[in-house]
């Protein structure tokens, strides 16, 4: 790739182009298992699993899955929090050529049903706490194989559950029992190439039907190599024997999958697994560690950490090596505070469709407050006219970000129409509008798609609108992201009731709770006589957003 103007801002030891080996993702476990076999790969509630043990479990589970008849190209749903079972199932499924479908444990049966149907799941790997949802799901949809584990099965000192103790349905399988009865550690002989699909990563569709971004083995390897090499200025200063990463970002999310789990394999780092975020538990966990080499997270969590009353006595400033923030912009006060503490940080931007990466601020070099940074190695980027989608805009003018390179998805699963709308000649149209300054740094100014980003989660308001319309008392409804100091944005619903009806905010919120994952449920509800509309009757979300912004300014 030719030299690009932004290359001059790269840190001194970050390459401008990378030679990617023809590796499949599951081969990443071989590196640490060979070099540091007895080092802890995972630390989970005080239990450690070494890289050697992890590799052995992956091989056994891969043989168990193959014996169940799972073949190359079959879709395997992973519906798990961060726990040892996730990496075991993930690398095992990939090594037999299956495609991993990442599913958020917070999804409702309706949401899971859409994704199971869209992807054609043949196998679902889930856990004890989600059983009520999965039982509901399986009444409506036939999933040939369901494998269940308990979150405490890999914690020493806890009894291991069984199919019987979990009272599993006839024909459902138990994770640990499958491992137990498969002693073989033979490597899978299925040929897996970089071009083969590895993951289906769901992202909200504009039509309310979720779209599954298909990421190949090559996409993931490219993204992992980029993450490792971008960290060159600081990470290698910690020898691999002592490297660790805080695994609090969920593995089912593309960011946690690449930047935590797969990064850790390549870097021989111990993953400190956190299945759910609770700030006091997190502080207790940090107290046990002298140093965390790498801590990828979201601004909400960084705010909670550094403003915690115990931050000073724990000496957080000395404990954290490199902070990486993504999923939502970091406030300038927060960046200042992190820098005052002497913690290195890098903020970046990416999408499910770009394997979670794309643009980033250098770790040592120039960072700009409010900027997402510069394009990563081998990722070409242009800002194009929002209306014609072709003409490049000059510096300082807003344009849609389009990107092309080895991390860009193959397309949407079984959805040629949506794929054609987002991928043109290999360029991914992101729908995000940014301006570029004279140094080539990018600043996001708006989102074409009205997406709400709350606590690092992407929320598509149309999906919430659809649910609000189902309420018997609602005549019109629209959801919107409004500024929130803690979560970045929070969901607000504007509602016009049917003639003669009365209703409370609580009623609307509890109705939404039954149909939406908790982070999508509106936190604020405003009842109105009318909702602003265009001449053709289209609801003007923008007008409502401007009203909210004006209100926020008055408060200040």
Q: Provide CATH code, domain 22-214+226-321.
A: 3.40.50.12780
State the Cα–Cα distance between residues 341 and 335, nearest whole angstrom. Answer: 10
**Could you tell me which CATH class the domain 452-555 is placed in?**
alpha beta
Instruction: For the chain of 556 residues, list the mean pLDDT of each consecutive stretch of 10.
Output: 88 97 97 98 97 98 98 98 98 98 92 93 98 96 97 96 97 97 96 98 67 97 97 95 95 95 98 92 91 90 86 90 82 83 91 96 91 96 91 93 97 94 95 92 79 79 83 90 86 92 93 92 93 66 84 80
Percentage of residues in the chain with pLDDT exceeding 70?
A: 97
Domain range annotation of the chain = 22-214+226-321, 452-555
Long-range contacts of 114-120 (CB under 8 A, 24+ apart): 114/209, 114/210, 115/77, 115/202, 115/210, 115/212, 116/77, 116/141, 116/143, 117/141, 118/202, 118/209, 118/210, 118/212, 118/413, 118/414, 119/75, 119/77, 119/200, 119/212, 119/413, 120/75, 120/414
The half-sphere exposure of 477 on its side-chain side, counting CA atoms within 13 A, is 27
- Compute, in degrees rounded to 10, the torsion defined by CA atoms 282, 284, 286, 287: 170
Helices 85-95 and 51-67 meet at what angle, rounded to 10?
60
Residue 361 burial class via C-beta count within 10 angstroms: exposed 0-12, middle 13-18, buried 19 and up: buried
Nearest of 197, 222, 202 to residue 418 by alpha carbon: 202
Q: Which residues of 243-282 are buried (b: 16+ CB within 10 A; e: fewer)?
A: bbbbbbbbbbbbbbbbbbbbbbbbbbbbbbbbbebeeeeb
Give the pLDDT of residue 501.
92
* 334: DSSP letter: H
List, as one string, the DSSP characters of 254-289.
Answer: HHHIIIIIIHHHHHTPEEEE-SS--HHHHHHHHHT-
Model pLDDT, residue 457: 82
pLDDT on residue 206: 43
Question: Model-level pTM greater than 0.75?
Answer: yes
75 Cα distance to chain centroid: 19
Dig out the tokens for 479 from the structure.
């959801």
Rounded CA-CA distance 149/532 in Å is 49
Residue with tokens 């001194």: 12
Query: Can you give the pLDDT at residue 497?
Result: 92
Backbone phi, then psi, for 352, in 5-degree steps? -55, -40
Render 9-54 in DSSP notation, one character per residue: GS-TTS-SS-------GGGGGHHHHHH-TTSEEEEETTEEEEHHHH
């Amino acid at each position: 790739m030719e030299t690009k103007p932004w290359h001059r801002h790269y840190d001194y030891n970050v390459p401008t182009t990378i030679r990617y080996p023809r590796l499949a993702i599951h081969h990443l476990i071989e590196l640490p298992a060979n070099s540091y076999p007895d080092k802890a790969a995972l630390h989970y509630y005080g239990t450690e699993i070494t890289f050697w043990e992890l590799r052995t479990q992956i091989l056994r589970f891969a043989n168990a899955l193959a014996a169940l008849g799972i073949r190359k190209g079959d879709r395997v749903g992973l519906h798990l929090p961060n726990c040892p079972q996730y990496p075991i199932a993930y690398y095992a499924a990939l090594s037999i050529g299956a495609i991993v479908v990442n599913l958020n444990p917070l999804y409702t049966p309706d949401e899971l049903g859409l994704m199971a149907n869209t992807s054609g799941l043949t196998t679902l790997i889930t856990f004890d706490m989600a059983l009520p949802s999965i039982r509901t799901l399986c009444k409506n949809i036939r999933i040939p194989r369901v494998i269940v584990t308990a979150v405490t099965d890999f914690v020493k000192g806890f009894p291991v559950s069984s199919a019987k103790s979990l009272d599993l349905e006839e024909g459902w399988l138990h994770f640990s029992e499958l491992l137990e009865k498969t002693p073989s550690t033979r490597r899978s002989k299925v040929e897996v190439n970089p071009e083969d699909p590895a993951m289906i990563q769901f992202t909200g569709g504009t039509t309310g039907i979720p779209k599954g971004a298909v990421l190949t083995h090559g996409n993931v390897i490219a993204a992992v190599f980029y993450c490792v090499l971008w960290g060159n200025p600081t990470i290698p200063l910690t020898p691999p024997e002592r490297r660790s990463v805080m695994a609090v970002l969920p593995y089912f999310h593309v960011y946690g999958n690449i930047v935590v789990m797969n990064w850790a394999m390549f870097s021989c780092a111990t993953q400190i697994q956190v299945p759910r975020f609770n700030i006091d538990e997190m502080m207790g966990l940090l107290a046990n560690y002298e140093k965390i080499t790498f801590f990828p997270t979201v601004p909400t969590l960084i705010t909670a950490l550094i403003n915690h009353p115990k931050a000073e006595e724990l000496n957080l400033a000395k404990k954290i090596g490199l902070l990486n923030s993504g999923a939502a912009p970091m406030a300038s006060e927060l960046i200042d505070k992190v820098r005052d503490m002497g913690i290195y940080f890098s903020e970046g931007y990416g999408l499910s469709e770009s394997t979670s990466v794309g643009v980033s601020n250098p770790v040592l070099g120039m960072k700009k407050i409010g900027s997402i940074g510069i394009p990563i190695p081998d990722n070409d980027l242009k800002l194009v006219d929002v209306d014609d989608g072709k003409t490049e805009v000059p510096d300082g003018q807003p344009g849609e970000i389009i990107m092309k390179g080895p991390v860009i998805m193959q397309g949407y699963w079984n959805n040629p129409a949506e794929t054609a709308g987002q991928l043109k000649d290999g360029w991914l149209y992101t729908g995000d509008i940014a301006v570029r300054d004279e140094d080539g740094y990018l600043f996001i100014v708006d989102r074409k798609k009205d997406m709400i980003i709350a606590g690092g989660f992407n929320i598509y308001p149309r999906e919430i609108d659809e649910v609000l319309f189902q309420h018997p008392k609602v005549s019109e409804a629209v959801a919107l992201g409004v500024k929130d100091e803690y979560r970045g944005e929070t969901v607000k619903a504007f509602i016009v009731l049917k003639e003669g009806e009365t209703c409370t905010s609580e009623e609307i919120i509890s109705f939404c709770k039954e149909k939406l994952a908790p982070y999508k449920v509106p936190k604020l509800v405003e009842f109105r006589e009318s909702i602003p509309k265009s001449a053709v009757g289209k609801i003007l979300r923008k007008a409502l957003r401007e009203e909210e912004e004006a209100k926020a300014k008055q408060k200040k």
